[in-house]
């Protein structure tokens, strides 16, 4: 498969390139905020960059009608609306997290939440000092899985890749679920899996959970 990537100069971009190359795919287009290089039209575009780069992604997808896998966090409501509009033209996978473990965590939250409806609930997320958005997109997904206004505590420390914990507290016990990302490899693997799955799918907006079949 020929693929393009937005944000190739970033750490996630480099990780995705390494994983895609391992899986036998060919990089034919790369782009960031300042430059674009295309040798051949890609079969799919992967964007794990910053919200500031999304306009270029949008224009590329509209012009070339290329399926999109996007993992950018911190997008505005307007940009999320634009992603929906793109999904009317091409198949799009959008998620704030491409880790299998995180989506299993979300599934656990949905199984538990109604059984402890009268318990206190809090979410904590920890990331490296360079992460710009707060709270993380994954913490927002966890909050949405609970379905109520859950407090989120965000910490930016050192070089932590990503750690998310949700705790349900009753009078006499606390139940916690925690996911720790040990490297960016887990997100790159998920992005590659989504890119492989989206090729040939009907036009529409897909979650990574749908790609996983959960």
Sheet with 162-170, edge to edge strand ranges:
152-156, 120-127, 162-170, 173-181
> Is the pLDDT reported for residue 192 higher than 80?
yes
Rounded-to-integer distance, Cα 173 and Cα 200, Å: 48
Known catalytic residue at 84: no
- The CATH code belonging to domain 100-181 is 3.30.360.10
Domains 2-94+185-212 and 100-181 share a fold: no
Q: What is the pLDDT of residues 76-114, one digit of tens each?
A: 999 999 999 999 999 999 999 999 999 999 999 999 999
Q: Catalytic pick from 64, 107, 131, 201?
A: 131
> Is the pLDDT reported for residue 4 higher than 80?
yes
> Is the pLDDT reported for residue 119 higher than 90?
yes
The answer to whether residues 138 and 162 touch, using CB atoms and an 8 Å cutoff, is yes
Compute how many other C-beta atoms are within 10 angstroms of the C-beta atom of residue 195. 27
pLDDT, position 35: 76
pLDDT, position 118: 96
pLDDT, position 199: 86
Q: If DSSP codes are grouped into helix, strand and coil, which group holds residue 167? A: strand
> Is the pLDDT reported for residue 203 higher than 90?
yes
| All structural domains of the chain with their residue ranges | 2-94+185-212, 100-181
> Is the pLDDT reported for residue 12 higher than 80?
yes
> Is the pLDDT reported for residue 171 higher than 90?
yes
pLDDT, position 67: 98
Q: For all residues of the chain together, what is the average pLDDT?
A: 95
Q: Catalytic pick from 127, 143, 164, 179?
A: 127
Fold of 2-94+185-212: Rossmann fold (3.40.50)
Q: What percent of the chain has pLDDT over 70?
A: 100
What is the pLDDT confidence band of residue 32, given thresholds at 50, 70 and 90? confident
> Is the pLDDT reported for residue 208 higher than 80?
yes
Q: What is the pLDDT of residues 153-169, one digit of tens each?
A: 999 999 999 999 999 99
Q: Which helix (H) or strand (E) segment is 29 a member of?
A: strand 26-31
Known catalytic residue at 63: no
């Amino acid at each position: 498969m020929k693929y393009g990537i937005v944000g190739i100069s970033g750490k996630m971009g480099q990780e995705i390139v390494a994983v895609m190359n391992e899986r036998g795919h060919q990089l034919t287009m790369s782009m960031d905020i300042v430059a674009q290089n295309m040798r051949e039209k890609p079969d799919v575009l992967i964007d794990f960059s910053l919200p500031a780069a999304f306009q270029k992604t949008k224009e590329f997808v509209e012009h070339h009608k290329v399926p999109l896998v996007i993992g950018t966090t911190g997008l505005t409501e307007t940009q999320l609306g634009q992603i929906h509009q793109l999904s009317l033209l091409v198949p799009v996978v959008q998620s704030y997290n491409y880790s299998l473990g995180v989506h299993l965590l979300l599934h656990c939250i949905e199984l538990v939440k109604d059984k402890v409806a009268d318990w206190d609930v809090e979410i904590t997320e920890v990331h490296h000092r360079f992460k710009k958005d707060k709270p993380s997109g994954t913490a927002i997904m966890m909050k949405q899985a609970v379905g109520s206004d859950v407090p989120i505590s965000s910490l930016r420390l050192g070089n932590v890749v990503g750690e998310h914990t949700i705790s349900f507290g009753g009078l006499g016990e606390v139940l916690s679920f925690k996911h720790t990302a040990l490297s960016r490899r887990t997100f790159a693997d998920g992005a590659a899996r989504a890119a492989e799955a989206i090729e040939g799918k009907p036009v529409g907006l897909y979650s990574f959970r749908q790609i996983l079949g959960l």
